[in-house]
Structure 1
């Protein structure tokens, strides 16, 4: 099962229902040789990512990564290899809390502990998706490809034709926005002719808008985990984003305008660029928040569609703002 097909209803399930208890436990006083012998005697269970260290009462003390255990000398004490301050969850945690912990700490498994600190068991990514558990590299690859517009897990076993069609639809969105931007540029030919130096900064304005939009989109996608965005959520999020976007846009606009003024000694161009940067960053923040929120609320796959849609809308709005300000100030 792909992470994107995970049933949202399972978020409320108790994580203890997905615990694995078949793992070998180590003691801090054991040597590596003794620990390996104990592991061979106990067996590894279904799968082991980390080895957990407990005291005589079963209370969690630390964790030993598999690589560290296998590469240490046989006489080394387990306590010397152990990492303390283990990231763990309460035994009454929900699957939503598990998701959040995996996302925040980039771990492959998490221990659940009782109120007295005793280890109840371990929950790993297999409880979420068997497909994700082949290797950490595959998890990272899926995350990267999702961010740029398609999910690797969906295309891994498809034909080349099917893969091409999946990727093409998002490229078409980008192509469509590029054509709209070309039409906008053609419509303001006279403005560009009157202020030839404006053409120098089209790429700059677009890059700032895209970067801001993608940053906001990424933060919004993280905030949407396990959340159904309603009107109140959207208004609160917009208000918070505006408080960030206004000073950010003003600072970037002032900096860009100042650089252009010092470079070209053209006050009008500096004013146009500074104003366009400030407004485009503000609009990009709104787009980066609104697009994933709308897709999520509509039940669409926001992690796949948000990136190309955000970039496309941001590019068109940014270029329109730039040209409209330029045409208003150049007479």
Structure 2
């Protein structure tokens, strides 16, 4: 029966220690017949779950389920039947990270790639079931799935002091952000004195942007699962989230602007509300998805740090947009 420390140590092992290097490899330029012939001539010793498609440089380009390969016409190009959106585990991931992949994606195996997206191995569901079986046999069994999905060193902190030291430095970001937000408000004091109604809507303008920022942070954290993103993938994720933020911003800004217009009857205030909320929400969506991915890219854990950084940035940017628009319209 395994002791907890032994289980913890194994879950924190690099997944590369447990991967299998004997793979069913196909070339992207082959046909089904050529691919099957290659596999028959040099069959892998390990069991075959998926066939992995590589280019001439060894980069992973796709995956072919066994059934699809066997039932396709012999002259069909491999590239026509492969799944191009491959979910791969980075070689820097741990066994615990790999278990998360099996929980969230429900596949039977995952390829393991290096930083150049070259295929270096695979892990199948046997790794996950073995770890669960070992966890289930240990004494003092906790909720198994509490361990899967969070790092044990973080989830079982030894003292309140340790928790304070790991979390308070990031709260300083919020303190600094609040001070900077007050400073920004002071810069635009003339506009606030000229149109007091602008101050009435500051809470709702900030609340909408902050809510979107937290939504984006939460979704970004869920999509990471131990994977270290590339700068290119961060750019595409951020661009996609900006478009979502634009839709959320237009809907939210229009709702508040209509209320403001009906209540106060001041078109300039309604325009400031619309522009400030739209700009703030779009920025919040972008920063909310970018911060967790950038922290993971630089090998930092985003769970504790991403929220405070995103919120502080969102508050400062939203107020700057809102008040700058007011200065331009009211001048």
Q: TM-score, normalised by structure 2?
A: 0.60
Q: Within 5 Å, give how 1:1-331 maps onto structure 2.
A: 7=12, 9-10=14-15, 13=18, 98-103=99-104, 123-124=131-132, 134-135=142-143, 153=155, 155=157, 157-158=158-159, 160-331=160-331
Mean alpha-carbon deviation: is it higher for 240-249 or for 182-191? Answer: 240-249
User: Tell me, which stretches of 5 or more residues in structure 2 are unaligned?
Assistant: 21-94, 107-123
Give the SS at the match of 2:201.
helix
Q: Provide the aligned C-alpha RMSD in A.
A: 3.8
The 2-side partners of 1:131 and 1:311 are apart by 42
Give the SS at the match of 1:315.
helix
Superposed displacement of residue 233, structure 1: 0.7
Superposed displacement of residue 228, structure 1: 2.2
User: Tell me, which stretches of 5 or more residues in structure 1 are unaligned?
Assistant: 16-93, 106-111, 115-119
Residues 177, 312 of structure 2: 8 Å contact kept: yes
The 1-side partners of 2:196 and 2:140 are apart by 52
The 1-side partners of 2:140 and 2:209 are apart by 33
Q: For residues 154 and 262 of structure 1, do their structure 2 counterparts lie closer, same or farther at Cα, with a shift above 3 Å needed?
A: same
Superposed displacement of residue 315, structure 1: 1.0
Residues 217, 288 of structure 2: 8 Å contact kept: yes
Superposed displacement of residue 316, structure 1: 0.9
Residues 258, 270 of structure 1: 8 Å contact kept: yes
1:83 match: none
Q: For residues 291 and 8 of structure 1, do their structure 2 counterparts lie closer, same or farther at Cα, with a shift above 3 Å needed?
A: farther
Deviations 1:174-233 (A, max 9, x none): 111111111111111101001100101111111111111111111111222243221221
The 2-side partners of 1:296 and 1:324 are apart by 33
Q: For residues 121 and 217 of structure 1, do their structure 2 counterparts lie closer, same or farther at Cα, with a shift above 3 Å needed?
A: closer
Superposed displacement of residue 154, structure 1: 5.3
The 2-side partners of 1:132 and 1:256 are apart by 53
Residues 242, 283 of structure 2: 8 Å contact kept: no
Residues 228, 297 of structure 1: 8 Å contact kept: yes
The 2-side partners of 1:131 and 1:274 are apart by 58
Q: For residues 97 and 172 of structure 1, do their structure 2 counterparts lie closer, same or farther at Cα, with a shift above 3 Å needed?
A: closer
Deviations 1:58-114 (A, max 9, x none): xxxxxxxxxxxxxxxxxxxxxxxxxxxxxxxxxxxx976631343579xxxxxx989
Q: For residues 6 and 296 of structure 1, do their structure 2 counterparts lie closer, same or farther at Cα, with a shift above 3 Å needed?
A: farther
Q: For residues 164 and 227 of structure 1, do their structure 2 counterparts lie closer, same or farther at Cα, with a shift above 3 Å needed?
A: closer
Superposed displacement of residue 264, structure 1: 1.2
The 1-side partners of 2:146 and 2:99 are apart by 20
Q: For residues 95 and 181 of structure 1, do their structure 2 counterparts lie closer, same or farther at Cα, with a shift above 3 Å needed?
A: closer
Residues 216, 288 of structure 1: 8 Å contact kept: yes
